[in-house]
């Protein structure tokens, strides 16, 4: 039997009318906020690109906010302001886990989903964590340094005490160095996320009897500051530096031979999938429970490891060629 198009037309029109009357999945004012710290770093330029790409695909609004320096107090204020705006969800890079625990719990109680990205607050009621396995990343740094020093030497660590993710990296370094008992951590420097402070702390060590045999930077700024200090006294490549992240300056120092290697994270991936998880929570898209707000356990994966890569002079050119361009300036 042949069915003529004109006979199907009424049914097509009715179906189209029903679809057009259906409520939109995303509301026009649906908005998400990503609260971070030290947002002047290029690291967050990548995260902003991931957030923007994800928001465009979902058809929602999203923005990054937070202090341009390492200030937990200012970030807490930014987080509180975000909660007060009642967004559809919040991504948070927690500069200090305890400082955010009550605020996160309050937001969850108000029905605002919170996902930690990059830096966790594991004792809070945040829904999930999306980011690096920082213990394993620290192990990578320690293992590479142990190999570079051939199992013997004194090492300086540059980090930011009190930040949970960096604490996990320190713990990973210490664990890896158990296999190299001749390698000792003799000093830990707090650079407060500022390469100038790292430079000022490393420079005098290079002139005295406590000159380190190796330097491990566990956040984005430390490796750059240490490399600059070595360069000023013509020690490029004489003291190995294992840095963290892929800031342009870090990759440039690898090219110039002052930084030996860097452990690279994926901030774009963290923000990209973090927003998708938030969107699913806001819309209760995962039907393991009736509603995430009353669920006895999170409907999301408890922890999403976005992975790392190790970059040195051997694979630097290929790594740079493969990188996507995120041309916007830092936040």
Q: Which domains does the chain have, with CATH numbers?
A: 31-131+266-306 (3.40.50.2300), 134-264 (3.40.50.2300)
Given a cut of 50, is residue 18 above it in pLDDT? no
pLDDT recorded at residue 27 = 82
Q: What value does the mean pLDDT take over residues 169-196?
A: 96
Residue 2 buriedness (CB in 10 A; 0-12 / 13-18 / 19+): exposed
Closest CA to 158 of 208, 230, 235: 230
Order of strands, edge to edge, in the sheet holding 241-244?
182-190, 152-159, 214-217, 241-244, 261-264, 309-312
Q: How far apart are CA 143 and CA 291, in angstroms?
A: 44
**β-bridge partners, 243:** 262
Note the pLDDT tens digit of each residue in 101-144.
Answer: 999 999 999 999 999 999 999 999 999 999 999 999 999 999 99
Among 25-29, 197-201, 300-304, 319-323, name the one with the lowest average pLDDT: 25-29
Given a cut of 90, is residue 32 above it in pLDDT? yes
Identify whether the C-beta of residue 52 lies closer than 8 Å to the C-beta of residue 324.
no
Q: How far apart are CA 157 and CA 241, in angstroms?
A: 10
Q: pTM, whole model, 2 decimals?
A: 0.87
Order of strands, edge to edge, in the sheet holding 114-117?
61-65, 31-35, 89-92, 114-117, 129-131, 303-305
How large a percentage of the chain has pLDDT more than 70? Answer: 91
Higher pLDDT, 216 or 11: 216
Task: Give the pairing of strands 309-312 and 214-217.
Answer: unpaired
Given a cut of 80, is residue 24 above it in pLDDT? no
Quick one: pLDDT band at residue 331, thresholds 50, 70, 90? low
Given a cut of 60, is residue 6 above it in pLDDT? no
Rg (CA), the chain: 24
The DSSP secondary structure of 108-125, one letter per residue, reads HHTT--EEEESS--TTS-
Given a cut of 50, is residue 20 above it in pLDDT? no
Quick one: pLDDT band at residue 12, thresholds 50, 70, 90? very low
CA angle 131, 106, 80 (to 5 degrees): 75
Q: Please name the residue ranges forming H helices in the chain.
A: 5-21, 42-58, 72-84, 97-109, 134-148, 164-176, 195-205, 220-232, 248-256, 267-282, 316-322
Q: How far apart are CA 55 and CA 298, in angstroms?
A: 23
Task: Give the pairing of strands 31-35 and 89-92.
Answer: parallel
Phi, psi for 130 (deg, rounded to 5): -120, 115
**Overall residue count recorded for the chain in this entry:** 331
Q: What value does the mean pLDDT take over residues 83-91?
A: 98
pLDDT recorded at residue 25 = 76
Given a cut of 70, is residue 218 above it in pLDDT? yes
Given a cut of 50, is residue 163 above it in pLDDT? yes
pLDDT recorded at residue 17 = 44
pLDDT recorded at residue 14 = 43
Distance set, CA 186 to CA 158, 174, 182, 286 (Å): 11, 12, 12, 49
Among 17-21, 73-77, 237-241, 280-284, name the one with the lowest average pLDDT: 17-21
What mean pLDDT value characterizes the chain? Answer: 91
């Amino acid at each position: 039997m042949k069915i003529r198009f004109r006979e199907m037309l009424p049914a097509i029109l009715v179906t189209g009318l029903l679809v057009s009357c259906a409520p939109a999945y995303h509301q026009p004012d649906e908005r998400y906020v990503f609260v971070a710290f030290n947002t002047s770093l290029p690291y967050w330029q990548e995260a902003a690109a991931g957030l923007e790409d994800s928001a465009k695909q979902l058809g929602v609004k999203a923005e990054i906010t937070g202090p341009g320096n390492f200030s937990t107090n200012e970030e807490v204020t930014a987080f509180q302001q975000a909660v007060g705006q009642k967004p559809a969800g919040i991504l948070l890079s927690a500069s200090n886990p305890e400082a955010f625990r009550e605020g996160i719990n309050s937001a969850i109680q108000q029905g605002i989903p919170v996902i930690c990205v990059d830096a966790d607050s594991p004792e809070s009621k945040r829904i999930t964590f999306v980011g690096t396995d920082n213990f394993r990343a620290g192990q990578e740094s320690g293992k590479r340094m142990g190999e570079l020093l051939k199992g013997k030497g004194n090492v300086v660590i540059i980090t930011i005490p009190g930040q949970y993710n960096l604490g996990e990296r320190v713990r990973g370094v210490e664990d890896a160095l158990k296999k190299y008992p001749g390698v000792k951590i003799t000093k830990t420097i707090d650079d407060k996320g500022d390469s100038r402070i790292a430079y000022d702390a490393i420079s005098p060590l290079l002139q005295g009897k406590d000159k380190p045999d190796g330097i491990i930077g566990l956040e984005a700024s430390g490796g750059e500051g240490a490399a600059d200090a070595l360069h000023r006294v013509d020690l490029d490549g004489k003291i190995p530096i294992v840095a963290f992240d892929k800031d342009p300056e870090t990759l440039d120092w690898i090219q110039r031979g002052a930084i030996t290697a860097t452990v690279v994270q994926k901030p774009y991936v963290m923000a990209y999938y973090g927003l998708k998880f938030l969107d699913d929570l806001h819309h209760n898209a995962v039907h393991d429970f009736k509603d995430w707000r009353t669920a006895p356990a999170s409907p999301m994966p408890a922890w999403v490891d976005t992975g790392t890569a190790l970059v040195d002079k051997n694979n630097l050119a290929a790594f740079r060629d493969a990188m996507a361009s995120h041309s916007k300036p830092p936040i």
